[in-house]
Amino acid sequence: MSVRECVVLQLMSMRETLLSNIGRLIAAYSGPISNSPGRVLRSVGMSQTDASHVARLLSSQSNFTVETYDRCVQAFSDVWPHYLPWPDGIERPTRRAAGRSDDSAAA
């Protein structure tokens, strides 16, 4: 990441930074395939409700919680292909075991 990119990121609000991270994950994961954000989010295992909510956030000024962001990034991390580099500047959570849901992680 260049110095200029670092300065720009520091000037963004946390909301903008988090939404930018989600957008970068969607773009990196889907590659040249042109899919809607909601479709990509569903393909990585997000619920229909969360995927729709995050897709709307990307094109509006709605608010969201850190938990929504965490669920989104976790969903990508859980299915991220080994051959595809994780985007720079986005902290990657530990991959959960296959078939493990948020509910079982809390237990």
Whether residue 103 has pLDDT greater than 60: no
Angle at 46 between CA 75 and CA 1, to 5 degrees: 40
**Average per-residue pLDDT in the chain?**
80
pLDDT at 9 over 60: no
pLDDT tens digits for range 27-49: 999 887 767 888 888 888 888 88
pLDDT band at 95 (very low <50, low <70, confident <90, very high): confident
Q: Which pLDDT value is given to residue 99?
A: 57
Q: What is the pTM of this model?
A: 0.69
pLDDT digit string, tens, across residues 71-91: 999 999 999 999 999 999 999
Q: What is the DSSP string of 37-80?
A: HHHHHHHTT--HHHHHHHHHHTTS-----HHHHHHHHHHHHHH-
